[in-house]
């Protein structure tokens, strides 16, 4: 089965490819000739994921899935949330996003947070949503060189290392995106509707 993943983020593509079974071939947006930035104008993760999946289905006529992920920090009233990628500006600079979070939390002892991911699947005229979440805390400084986005400042509950320090295999098992993908894979492989 061929399935398009509606993202231009190479790091996400790499993570997802590691999780998918061999009989599902992940196709990038570049492979279908989609080079434009897909709008993310909605106010929830669910709506943004669906918006991106619908964009590909409507413009390219193919089955696909898209995700939207947010880092929700309790001390920041849920920010950056749906604005996680653009928290420090439209250029989607991870380093600046991290710096802004750490600056805003510098005098805060409560550092609880969670990552949430919603995946929207458009397949055979069906639209299905899958969600995953992971609880954790925000560090006071960046730790680790792996991962991407906010990974260097997020420690999942039950671990003493950030997502940027943990091996990718462990991160993929416990992460928000990993959990949502496991649900997507279970759906695709159980129902065999392709």
Question: What distance in Å separates the CA atoms of residue 86 and residue 6, rounded to the nearest whole number?
Answer: 18
107's CB contacts (< 8 A; 6+ apart) are none
**Domain with 175 in it:** 2-191
Residue-level pLDDT at 28 = 94
Q: Are 5 and 27 in contact (CB under 8 A)?
A: yes
pTM for this one? 0.91
Query: How many Å apart are CA 6 and CA 176, to the nearest integer?
Result: 18
Q: Give the pLDDT confidence score for residue 45 in this predicted structure.
A: 97
Q: What is the CATH number of the domain that holds 33?
A: 3.90.950.10
**How many structural domains does the chain have?**
1
Q: Considering 2, 54, 67, 68, which one is annotated as catalytic?
A: 68
- The pLDDT of residue 191 is 55
Residues lower than pLDDT 70 in the chain:
191-194
Run of H or E residues at 186: helix 176-191
Percent of the chain whose pLDDT exceeds 70: 98
SS3 label, residue 39: coil
Active site residue 68: yes
Is the peptide bond between 183 and the residue preceding it cis, with omega within 30 degrees of 0? no
In the prediction, which pLDDT does 39 show? 83
């Amino acid at each position: 089965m061929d399935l398009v993943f509606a993202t231009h983020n190479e790091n996400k593509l790499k993570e997802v490819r590691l999780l998918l079974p061999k009989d599902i071939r992940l196709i990038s947006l570049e492979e279908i000739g989609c080079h434009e930035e897909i709008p993310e104008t909605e106010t929830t993760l669910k709506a943004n994921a669906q918006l991106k999946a619908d964009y590909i289905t409507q413009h390219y006529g193919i089955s696909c899935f898209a995700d939207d992920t947010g880092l929700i920090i309790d001390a920041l009233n849920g920010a950056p949330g749906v604005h996680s990628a653009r928290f420090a500006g439209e250029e989607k600079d991870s380093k600046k996003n991290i710096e802004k979070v750490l600056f805003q939390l510098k005098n805060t002892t409560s550092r609880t947070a969670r990552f949430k991911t919603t995946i929207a699947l458009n397949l055979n005229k069906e639209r299905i949503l899958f969600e995953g979440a992971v609880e954790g805390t925000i560090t006071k400084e960046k730790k680790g060189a792996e991962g991407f986005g906010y990974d260097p400042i997020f420690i999942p509950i039950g671990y003493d290392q950030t997502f940027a320090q943990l091996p990718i295999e462990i991160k993929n098992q416990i992460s928000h995106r990993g959990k949502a993908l496991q649900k997507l894979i279970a759906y695709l492989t159980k129902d065999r509707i392709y």
